Amino acid sequence: MGRKPGILERSVIHNPDRNNRIYPKIVKSLSALLLTGTVLINLACGAGTKSVVPHYEWKNITVGAGGFAPNIVFSRVEKNLAYLRTDMGGAYRWDQDKGSWLPLQDGMEESSYFGIESLAPDPKDPDVVYAAAGMYRHEPAAILHSANRGQTWRITPVPFRMGGNEDGRGLGERLAIDPNQTSILYFGSRHDGLFRSLDRGASWARVESFPHSGSGMRSYPQPTNAGISFVVFDPASGSNGSSQSIYVGVADPGEQHLYQSHDGGKTWTAVKNQPPAQLLPVQAELDDQGVLYVAYCNGIGPNGVTDGAVYKWGTRSGDWTDISPQKRPGKPGGGYMGISLDRQKPGTVVVASMNRWQPYDTVWYSSDGGASWFDIQPVSKRDVSATPYLYWGNPEADFGWWIAGLAIDPFDSGHVAYTTGATLYATDNILAQPTIKWQPWIKGIEQTAIITLTSLPKGPPLLSGFGDISGFVHEDLTVSPQVQFVDPVFANTNTIDYAGLVPNIVVRSGTPAHRTEGKGPTQAYSIDFGKTWQTVEEPEHPARPGDLAMVVSASGSRLMINTPIARWSADQGKSWHKASGLPENSRPVADKREPLVFYAMDFNTSRLFISRDGGETFVAIESKGLPDNISKDRPAWREIPWPLMVDPYQAGELWFVSHAGLFHSIDSGETFAKVETNIQVQLLSFGKPKTVGSKATLFAIGSRGGERAIWQSDDSGLHWIKLSDDEHRYGKRYRTLSGDLQHYGRVYVGTDGRGIVYAEPVEKNEE
Q: Determine phi and psi for 390, rounding to 5 degrees.
A: -70, -10
Which one is catalytic: 167, 468, 613, 726? 468
- How many residues are there in the chain? 767
- Calculate the CA dihedral of residues 299, 304, 310, 313 and round it to 10 degrees: 10
Distance CA 341, CA 287 (A): 7
- One-letter amino acid at 404 equals A
User: If DSSP codes are grouped into helix, strand and coil, which group holds residue 32?
Assistant: helix
Distance CA 472, CA 460 (A): 10
Distance CA 62, CA 68 (A): 17
Cβ pair 418, 406 in contact under 8 A: yes
Which one is catalytic: 87, 122, 234, 252? 87
Distance CA 468, CA 419 (A): 16
Q: Which helix (H) or strand (E) holds 699?
A: strand 697-704
Strand partners, 166: none
Cβ pair 372, 326 in contact under 8 A: no
Distance CA 701, CA 735 (A): 8
Rg of the chain taking only CA atoms, in angstroms: 28
Catalytic site includes residue 87: yes
**650 CB contacts (<8 Å, ≥6 apart)?**
593, 666, 695, 696
Cβ pair 561, 574 in contact under 8 A: no
Cβ pair 748, 61 in contact under 8 A: yes
**Distance of alpha carbon 701 from its chain centroid, rounded?**
18
Q: How many helices (H) and strands (E) does the chain have?
A: 2, 60
**Distance of alpha carbon 171 from its chain centroid, rounded?**
19
Distance CA 227, CA 230 (A): 9
Q: E-assigned strands of 122-199?
A: 129-133, 141-146, 153-158, 175-177, 185-188, 194-197
Q: Determine phi and psi for 520, rounding to 5 degrees.
A: -85, 180
722 C-beta neighbours (distance < 10 Å), count: 18
- One-letter amino acid at 35 equals L
Distance CA 566, CA 548 (A): 10
Q: In what order do the strands lie in the sheet with 320-322?
A: 280-286, 291-297, 308-314, 320-322
DSSP class of residue 303 equals S
Q: Determine phi and psi for 674, rounding to 5 degrees.
A: -75, 130
Query: Mind telling me the catalytic residues?
Result: 87, 468
